[in-house]
């Protein structure tokens, strides 16, 4: 289990290394074959799909690591930031929904009445759900659930949908994509910047212990 900030940072860095290596190599191939229209078009389609895959994969993996890190502290619910208490309640609601017993509500009522001083049990094993389509709306929901600063992405939301998610969906549905080499290279750099921003936000949240409830 991830118990220290150093372990969390190392796990995130380890995950990012291979993603960056793949994308960097593919970026070089796009540049190498830009004089060949057919190969260039195929490479750009492949590169856009992989860019999106690594963006979604990194958000999902680093978020899951952060959840595991928070869960390892086992803070009392009363000292845990509200968003993580909310995640726990959401999991309990799902458990309750799977039960047809009327008495199933008793466990939820007991949680509301007595749980503040209990050690928390933040659900982390299933990680976060990117819904296989990490649009700006899904991203904001994940940021809110983890208590991360959504304002860091406020100017990039339209870019995520228009320049990354929509082109990826066109490719996934077998549709054409009209993108030049220069446009792809810009997209690559912008997505890597997004990934770094998300990485910094998760790491800052752990260092600053934003998972703890503020008393002032």
Instruction: Indicate whether 7 pLDDT > 60.
Output: yes
115 Cβ contact partners less than 8 Å away, ≥ 6 residues apart? 77
3-state class of 101 per DSSP? coil
Q: Give pLDDT tens digits for 185-215.
A: 999 999 999 999 999 999 999 999 999 998 7
Q: Could you give the CA distance from residue 121 to residue 133 in angstroms, rounded to a whole number?
A: 28
Per-residue pLDDT tens digits for 49-107: 999 999 999 999 999 999 999 999 999 999 999 999 989 888 877 766 655 566 666 76
pLDDT over threshold 90, residue 131:
no
- The 10 Å Cβ neighbour count of residue 13 is 12
66: Cα separation from own chain's centroid? 10
C-alpha 159/C-alpha 145 separation (Å) is 22
């Amino acid at each position: 289990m991830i118990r220290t900030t150093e372990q969390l940072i190392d796990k995130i860095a380890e995950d990012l290394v291979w993603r960056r290596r793949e994308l960097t190599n593919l970026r070089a191939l796009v540049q190498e074959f830009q004089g060949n229209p057919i190969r260039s078009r195929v490479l750009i389609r492949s590169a856009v799909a992989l860019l999106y895959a690594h963006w979604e994969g990194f958000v999902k993996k680093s978020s899951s690591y952060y959840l595991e890190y928070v869960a390892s502290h086992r803070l009392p619910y009363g000292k845990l930031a509200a968003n993580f208490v909310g995640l726990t309640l959401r999991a309990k609601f799902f458990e309750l929904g799977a039960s047809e017993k009327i008495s199933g509500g008793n466990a939820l009522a007991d949680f509301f009445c007595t749980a503040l001083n209990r050690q928390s049990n933040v659900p982390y094993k299933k990680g976060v759900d990117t819904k296989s389509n990490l649009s700006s709306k899904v991203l904001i929901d994940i940021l809110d659930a983890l208590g991360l600063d959504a304002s860091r992405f406020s100017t990039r939301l339209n870019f995520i949908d228009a320049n990354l998610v929509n082109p990826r969906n066109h490719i996934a549905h077998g549709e054409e994509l009209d993108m030049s080499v220069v446009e792809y290279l810009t997209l690559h750099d912008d997505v890597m910047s997004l990934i770094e921003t998300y990485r910094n936000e998760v790491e800052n949240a752990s260092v600053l212990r934003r998972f703890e409830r503020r008393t002032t």
